Amino acid sequence: MTAASAPETAPRVLVVDDESGILETLRILLKTEGFIPFTAHGGRQGIEKIDEIKPDIVLTDVRMPDVTGVQVLSHARQADSEIPVILMTAQATLQSAMQAVNEGAFYYIQKPFRNDELVAILKRAAEHRRLRVENQSLKQEIRRRDKSIGSRPIGRSKSWLEVLRLAETVAPTDSTVLITGESGTGKEVVARYIHDLSTRTDNSFLSINCGALPESLLESELFGHVKGSFTGAVKDKTGLFAAANNGTFFLDEIGETTPSTQVKLLRVLQQREVIPVGATEPVSVNTRVLAATNRDLEEEIKRGAFRADLFYRLNVIAVHLPPLRQRTDDIPLLAESFLARSAQVRNEAPKGLAEDTLDALMAYGWPGNVRELENALERAVILSPGAKIQLDALPERVTERRAEPLVSERTPVTPTLEAIERAYIQWVLQNEGGNKSRAADMLGIDPSTLYRKLARYGDA
């Protein structure tokens, strides 16, 4: 219950007890003293309210049936390590007080207590909370500025700078982000950049390639399992969602997951809890989810291969990475960075690029994108004895004569309108990485019309 007269900046205090009379008495006291009081009857409801209202302070009784005050304390500290938790008990001992402090309690007060004593403790807790949060915010802001200047992903092309600006805008939030783009465009690089600029940067950044594991093993890695849940499960295992608690979890190639796994992922995003394989009780998690795919998930939904409700949960913020062929201005910068990194590893001076070598890099289409460029340069460094990388050190596929593009200045003598339309549609599709929805937008037609045209041309 919220006090209407309390200012918006007043501390939000959650009171947890199994006695209704105490809850009502403390609610009135806190409201009178300028706090915003909330109450929870029993420890189980207290845990639910912590997740729901995110209080500034928790005041909880210790001895309660079912869920104790120490369990409420543990959950509160897990949800937010900066929440001061004050424990109340009628049976205080030195041992129990020491246990409370070791568990992270801010204060331990014995019932019955004077009102002014409790209010004084709450005011100290509120000031402690304010200073800790303010200090953390200042540190994070300094860190974000340093990282945004010092470790910004390389690139100066317009399309890439737009990606970085969007990443920097969403980084301080807890919104789920879906990163799309062809393989090798740097989706994990952008995910790590978002994490580094977020409020969770002091905590873990974990990632998994959803397409690299079979379904049964993937679910064990994601959600954990309990001992005996399947053959070989000799002990409990914490899943990556729980391991990344208060941090960031990056789900790469989310489009490769099975419908069964998608249902469980949807539950995590909706309920913020996981159920380990073989367990019956859910485990609360406070993990930011970033996901990535090189597939067109809207196309996958139409084929019945991906759940629409999961897509909408993931696609809160959409970040699309352009292929390298659409940001050729960045190739010299990326090449310089890769050569410098290689030199550092090999403990030698960085090699340069001969003029025709750079020309070849700029002219090639890079179907493998930035990853292919890095691998090609790593090979070239090894094969180049001199200070400059010559053309013949590049892979043959990079230097060989390229086929005519889909749309060329040299056209047939009498091309048909249909041939021109088909070539143009293919060219737009290629530039949009095969994404039919974006291609339809570029063409100025609705997707259904594009599908019909592709079917007529035999290109569907």
User: HEC states along 101-145?
Assistant: HHCCCCEEEECCCCHHHHHHHHHHHHHHHHHHHHHHHHHHHHHHH
Query: In angstroms, rounded to a whole number, what is the distance separating the alpha carbons of residues 257 and 401?
Result: 39
Query: In angstroms, rounded to a whole number, what is the distance separating the alpha carbons of residues 183 and 188?
Result: 11
So what's the pLDDT on residue 2? Answer: 40
Q: What sections of 347-384 are H helices per DSSP?
A: 355-363, 369-383
Give residues with Cβ within 8 angstroms of 202, minimum separation 6: none
Tokens 């105490």 found at: 22
For 279-344, the DSSP string reads: -SS-EE---EEEEEESS-HHHHHHTTSS-HHHHHHHTTEEEEPPPGGG-GGGHHHHHHHHHHHHHH
Query: In angstroms, rounded to a whole number, what is the distance separating the alpha carbons of residues 454 and 43?
Result: 60
Tokens 């953390």 found at: 136
Q: Quote the tokens at residue 456.
A: 């007529």
Query: In angstroms, rounded to a whole number, what is the distance separating the alpha carbons of residues 358 and 363?
Result: 9
So what's the pLDDT on residue 264? Answer: 93
C-beta of residue 268 within 8 angstroms of C-beta of residue 240: no
Closest CA to 371 of 222, 112, 189: 189
To 10 degrees, the CA torsion angle through 255, 259, 260, 265? 50
Tokens 């974000």 found at: 144
User: Quick check: helix, strand or coil at residue 265?
Assistant: helix
C-beta of residue 13 within 8 angstroms of C-beta of residue 53: no
Rg of the chain's alpha carbons, rounded to an integer? 29
Identify the bridge partners of residue 205 per DSSP, sorted by sequence position.
Answer: 248
Query: In angstroms, rounded to a whole number, what is the distance separating the alpha carbons of residues 12 and 7?
Result: 11
Residue 232 amino acid letter: G
Tokens 């970040």 found at: 319
C-beta of residue 310 within 8 angstroms of C-beta of residue 266: yes
C-beta of residue 143 within 8 angstroms of C-beta of residue 201: yes
User: Quick check: helix, strand or coil at residue 158?
Assistant: helix
So what's the pLDDT on residue 233? Answer: 76
Tokens 């919220």 found at: 2
So what's the pLDDT on residue 460? Answer: 60
Query: In angstroms, rounded to a whole number, what is the distance separating the alpha carbons of residues 171 and 191?
Result: 9
User: Quick check: helix, strand or coil at residue 156?
Assistant: coil
Distance between terminal CA atoms of the chain?
58
pTM recorded for the entire structure = 0.62
Per-residue pLDDT of the chain (460 residues; tens, 9 = 90+): 444 444 457 899 999 999 999 999 999 999 999 999 999 999 999 999 998 898 999 999 988 988 988 899 988 988 888 899 999 887 755 566 666 666 788 888 888 889 999 999 999 999 988 888 777 666 666 555 555 444 789 999 999 999 999 999 999 999 999 999 999 999 999 999 999 999 898 899 999 999 888 888 899 999 998 888 877 777 888 999 999 999 999 999 999 999 999 999 999 999 999 999 888 888 889 999 999 999 999 999 999 999 999 999 999 999 999 999 999 999 999 999 999 999 998 899 999 999 999 999 999 999 999 999 999 999 999 999 989 999 999 999 998 855 445 555 544 556 667 778 888 888 888 877 778 888 888 888 887 788 777 777 666 6
C-beta of residue 84 within 8 angstroms of C-beta of residue 66: no
Query: In angstroms, rounded to a whole number, what is the distance separating the alpha carbons of residues 285 and 236?
Result: 17
Quick one: how far is CA 341 from the chain centroid? 27
